Chain A
Amino acid sequence: MEQRTNSPYPRIDRPMLAIIGVFLVLSCVLFFASDRDHDWRYYQAAFKGEVATQFGQERAAQVTTGIQQIWVADLGRADRCITCHQAVSWKGFENAEEPFRTHPLEPLKAHPIEKFGCTSCHGGQGWAVDVIEAHGEVAHWEEPLLSRALGEDYSLSGNKGALIQMNCNICHRYDRETKGADAINLAKRLVDEKGCRACHVINNRGGRIGPDLTRVGEKAPEQYDYSRLSGQKTAFAWHVAHFKNPKEVSTDSTMPVFGFNTEQAQALAMLVLSWRPADVPAAYLAGAPRTDVPTPEQAAEELRMRTGPGKWFVETGCATCHSIQVYGVKAPAQIGPDLSNAVEDVQSRFGRTIDDFLREPTGTMSVVLSRQIILTPEQKAIAIQKLREAFAVYQKQQAEKER
């Protein structure tokens, strides 16, 4: 008769296997539960209720369920915001609480949702389907939702919802003025008035004393030095502090204090953070200019200055910061004094002749003449000669005035 070997193992092993089976069932329960535990389900149910209350059951039955996605292949964005924000195109929810508010119609006329998605204007993390992740308020997502709440968080003076204009300007950066982007427009006017281009390359043109700002918005938050910043440690806060007092944040800076108030500094910070490359197909930029275009008056003025008596100063670059009134040369920014009377001005200010001063300049001029405008000795001689000529014209002018 064949035997069956006695084994002590089944006594313990079989129950152990059964217990493991129970744990496996537990794991199924757990992962099923965690898969159903997403915010969007709650919001969809709530919205259905809202529609039923307001419009009745048949309309409520038309509300779509499940994850909704706007896939914009051209921009590489898959935005799932409309999974919770279902009221975006529903008429009748204009005054509802978010996320059930109708989207204002005006911006959508030129920027239909199917072509732009949501995040290209609003920021945030379009991939996500939970609230905090979707609004970008998580680690390792560098672009938060540019909401009113963020504006409050960043202590914006004025319009708390202005941060979204940063994203407008990514595409509209060469516009002189963009409808609806007041903070950006203010900042662009300031750039023109204050002559930032004298020291910085902006939109591919400008000087080389300060860093090139064409792509400065691309800089990652961790690449800024926050050691001298009190308060919030964000790129936005850094720029605001920098605009208010450059040397305080960036110790080797030669950038002057322009006396911006908070609103202006914040507008400029928004402008600067929006300067990043926009990899969009040409069809998206139809109508928006692709480079900075001077107005006809500006173009005529520039031509006159380039061909007039003061043209040497324009060609050499002195006219970036210095006007020469006697030759009708107007600098875009009045950073340095007028050169018409430089001969006597330098003497009275520094107690030196202009020959001596050009040979060994002090202050800002020493930075400029060593980094931006390098003059050979022959050019310096020409400069001195032309300054004397200008001074002669100036003296004649003063004499005529007194007469």
Chain B
Amino acid sequence: MSEPTKKNDRRDFLIKLGTGAGVCALGIQGLASARSLMPNVSYDAPTTVKLGPPAEFPDGLKFLADERLFIFRDGNTFHAVSAVCTHLGCTVRAEALPRPETATVGGAPLKLTHKFICPCHGSQYAGDGTNISGPAPKPLSWYRLSVAGDDGQLVVDLADEVDRDFRLTV
């Protein structure tokens, strides 16, 4: 009585295993179909843009019109502030401060040489992008800067906003 039962148990187990595996396999095939809908390549405009070698950036401010970006340099430290006004998207203008100030921004010191004024509706921003007056609801964004691995150019990632403590030291 025990022998046939043991064989049947094992048989039963294997059959259940096989059938269960089949059901799982169907699920995996379904997941594979879902995975196929996650794109591997992007047809969007690239968000990481090469800006040129760090040497080409002067101390102080450089405005890049195509990317609508201000690149600030202080010695070997870089940071990038967006020139897109947070009100309705105009490109803000940078106005040099009469005297450069040093403030603590994001917990680290930062040399502020300019403030920003938007020509469209008069929003004003401080040197670190904080909105001081006018209709602008939010401060100017800061974007991540890095150095490209291949040719050493400065690279900005316009899809990666960072906090005010971001500094890139080259």
Q: Given the known A-B contacts A91-B150, A91-B152, are A24 and B26 also in contact in the complex, defined by CB atoms under 8 Å?
A: yes
Docked complex Cα distance between A15 and B21 (Å): 13
Contact call B15/A69, Cβ cutoff below 8 A:
no
Contact A21 to B40, CB < 8 A, known contacts A90-B151, A91-B152: no
Known: A22-B18, A69-B41. A87 touches B150 (CB 8 A): yes
- Interface positions, chain B 31-59, Cβ under 8 Å from A, are 32, 40-43, 46
Known A-B contacts A22-B22, A67-B40, A71-B43; the reply to A28 vs B149 at CB < 8 A is no
Which of A58-66, A308-316, A343-351, A381-389 contacts its partner? Answer: A58-66
B149 touches A62 (CB 8 A): yes
A17: which B residues are within 8 A, CB to CB? 15, 18-19, 22
Q: Which of A22, A59, A68 has the most CB of B within 10 A?
A: A22
Closest Cβ of chain A to B41, distance in Å, is 4
Given A31-B32, A59-B149, A87-B150, A21 and B41 touching (CB < 8 A)? no
B67-105 contact mask (Cβ, 8 Å, vs A): 1 or 0: 000000000000000000000000000000000000000
Q: How far is the CA of A32 from the CA of B29 in the complex (A)?
A: 10
Interface contact B41-A80, CB-CB below 8 Å: yes
Query: Is there a chain B Cβ closer than 8 Å to A46's Cβ?
Result: no
Q: Taking the complex as formed, is A19 at the interface, i.e. its CB lies under 8 A from any CB of chain B?
A: yes
B32 CB to nearest A CB, Å: 7
Total B residues in contact with A, Cβ cutoff 8 Å: 27
- Give the residues in chain A near B14, CB-CB below 8 Å: 18
Residues of B contacting A24 with CB < 8 Å? Answer: 21-22, 25-26, 29
When A24-B26, A28-B25 are in contact, do A63 and B18 touch as well, CB less than 8 Å?
A: no
- Decide yes or no whether A25 CB sits under 8 A from chain B: yes
Contacts of A86 in B (CB 8 A): 150
Residues of chain A from 199 to 250 with CB closer than 8 A to chain B in the complex: none
Q: Mark A177-194, 1 if CB is under 8 A from B, else 0.
A: 000000000000000000
Q: Is the interface of B mostly helix, strand, loop or mixed?
A: helix
Question: Which of A21, A27, A32 makes the CB contact (< 8 A) with B18?
Answer: A21
Indicate whether B28 reaches chain A with its CB closer than 8 angstroms: yes
Cβ of B170 under 8 Å from chain A: no
Residues of B within 8 A of A114 (CB): 46
As a 0/1 sequence over residues 142 to 163 of chain B, the CB contacts with chain A under 8 angstroms (1 = contact) are 0000001111100000000000
* Given A14-B15, A18-B14, A66-B40 contact (CB < 8 Å): yes
B24 proximal to A (CB < 8 A)? yes
Any chain B CB within 8 A of the CB of A368?
Answer: no
Q: Mark A80-123, 1 if CB is under 8 A from B, else 0.
A: 10000011111100000000000000000000001000000000
A20 lies within 8 A of chain B by Cβ: yes
Contacts of A63 in B (CB 8 A): 149
Known: A18-B18, A21-B22. A69 touches B149 (CB 8 A): no
What is the chain A residue whose CB lies nearest that of B16? A18
In the assembled complex, the CB of B26 is this many whole angstroms from the nearest CB of chain A, namely 6
- Verify A91–B18 contact, CB threshold 8 A: no
**What residues make up the interface of B, taking CB atoms closer than 8 Å to A?**
11, 14-26, 28-29, 32, 40-43, 46, 148-152
What are 29 of the A-B contact pairs (CB < 8 Å)? A14-B19, A15-B11, A17-B15, A18-B15, A18-B16, A18-B17, A20-B22, A21-B19, A21-B21, A21-B22, A21-B23, A21-B25, A22-B18, A24-B21, A25-B24, A27-B29, A28-B29, A28-B32, A62-B149, A63-B149, A67-B40, A67-B41, A69-B41, A69-B42, A71-B41, A78-B41, A88-B150, A91-B151, A91-B152
A15-B15, A67-B41, A71-B43 known, 18 other contacts, Cβ within 8 Å: A14-B19, A17-B18, A17-B22, A18-B14, A18-B19, A22-B21, A24-B21, A24-B25, A28-B25, A63-B149, A69-B42, A69-B43, A71-B41, A88-B150, A89-B148, A90-B149, A91-B150, A91-B152
Which 10 A-B pairs have CB atoms at the shortest separation, nearest pair first?
A21-B22, A18-B18, A62-B149, A24-B25, A90-B150, A69-B41, A21-B18, A18-B15, A89-B150, A21-B21
